[in-house]
């Protein structure tokens, strides 16, 4: 499939001047909302242009949005933005059936993708999704939050950020930087799973800074509600797109199964 057109900075939320980039193949058979990571405090849709191009080459029409981030905006701003995007897509004239739409994201984007899957029944892929929030914070009260060195975060792919294994101070920092303490439990993902949730493919490295606990919480919740799911753990400390090449064939099969 040959990529024929990339349309940048299409406004989907005039009130907040939020935009999305659209990646259109010659013929689209389904659509993907591709959500960038960045801990809800950094990052930009341009970070996922490479992934979007891979999907477009397979015949998917890909929508890559920006969303509001901290410190200017806090939970649930980014989730609200993805809901706005979803409603915008329902009205937009796009060249694929809206019944064939998936949500894909990494890191904080994986969290947002999972919530779209929960709220709208979309097939969902989350790589190193930030899924364990309220429960993790309750068990790590003694951890002192610390940002660390993220000075070049916007210029680096997620594969090169914080790749030295578990980093509880950083994990706590970006969660609490975005999610006020009063919203810890409201932001937790697994308790929001219902029988209308879409099928999910969730992956995580075993020794990265995103804990695997969120992966298994989601597996338990999805199984309880009879939702098809795949959980994949990978060796080492690679984060999100850092292991994309390893899982991409399986992701293709997952979407082919649920989008056709």
159-214: per-residue pLDDT in tens? 555 456 788 998 999 899 999 887 888 899 999 999 999 999 999 999 998 999 99
Lowest-pLDDT range, 40-49, 95-104, 145-154, 196-205?
A: 145-154
Segment 132-139 shows an average pLDDT of: 92
Residues 47 and 158: beta-carbon distance below 8 Å: yes
Angle between helical axes of 77-91 and 108-120 (0-180°, round to 10): 50
First to last CA, the chain: 16
CA angle (227 as vertex; 214, 204 as ends), nearest 5: 30
Q: Determine the CATH number of domain 3-259.
A: 3.40.50.1820
* CA 231 to each of CA 44, 82, 141, 223, 239: distance values in angstroms, whole numbers, following the listed order: 27, 24, 28, 11, 15
Whether the predicted pLDDT of 216 surpasses 50:
yes
What's the pLDDT band for 2 if we cut at 50, 70, 90? low
CB-based contacts of 27, cutoff 8 Å, min separation 6? 1, 59
Give residue 100's pLDDT: 97
- Report yes or no: 68 and 41 within 8 Å, Cβ to Cβ: no
SS3 7: strand
Residue 221: the pLDDT is: 98
Rounded to whole angstroms, the Cα distance separating 210 from 212 reads 7
Let me know if 79 is exposed, middle or buried by CB neighbors in 10 A (0-12, 13-18, 19+). middle
Residue 154 has pLDDT above 80, yes or no: no
Beta-carbon contacts of 227 under 8 Å, excluding residues fewer than 6 positions away, are: 193, 195, 197, 198, 199, 200
Residues 6+ apart with CB under 8 A from 10: 19, 20, 21, 22
Residue 157 has pLDDT above 80, yes or no: no
The pLDDT value recorded for residue 64 is 98
Q: Are 237 and 208 in contact (CB under 8 A)?
A: yes
């Amino acid at each position: 499939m040959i990529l024929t057109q990339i349309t940048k900075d299409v406004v989907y939320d005039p009130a907040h001047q939020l935009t999305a980039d659209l990646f259109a193949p010659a013929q689209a058979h389904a659509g993907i909302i591709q959500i960038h990571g960045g801990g809800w405090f950094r990052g930009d849709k341009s970070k996922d242009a490479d992934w979007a191009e891979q999907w477009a080459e397979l015949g998917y029409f890909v929508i890559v949005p920006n969303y509001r981030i901290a410190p200017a905006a806090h939970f649930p701003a980014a989730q609200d933005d993805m809901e706005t995007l979803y409603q915008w897509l329902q009205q937009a004239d796009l060249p694929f059936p809206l019944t064939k739409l998936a949500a894909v994201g990494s890191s904080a984007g994986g969290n947002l993708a999972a919530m779209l899957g929960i709220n709208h029944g979309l097939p969902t892929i989350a790589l190193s999704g930030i899924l364990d929030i309220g429960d993790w914070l309750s068990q790590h009260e003694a951890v002192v939050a610390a940002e660390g060195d993220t000075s070049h975060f916007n210029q680096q792919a997620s594969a090169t950020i914080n790749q030295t294994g578990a980093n509880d101070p950083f994990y706590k920092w970006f969660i609490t930087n975005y999610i006020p303490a009063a919203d810890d439990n409201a932001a937790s993902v697994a308790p929001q799973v219902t029988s209308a949730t879409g099928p999910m493919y969730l992956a995580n490295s075993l020794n990265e800074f995103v804990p695997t606990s969120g992966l298994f919480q989601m597996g338990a919740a999805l199984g309880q509600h009879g939702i098809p799911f795949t959980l994949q753990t990978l060796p080492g400390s690679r984060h999100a797109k850092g292991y994309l090449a390893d899982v991409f064939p399986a992701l293709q099969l997952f979407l082919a199964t649920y989008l056709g």
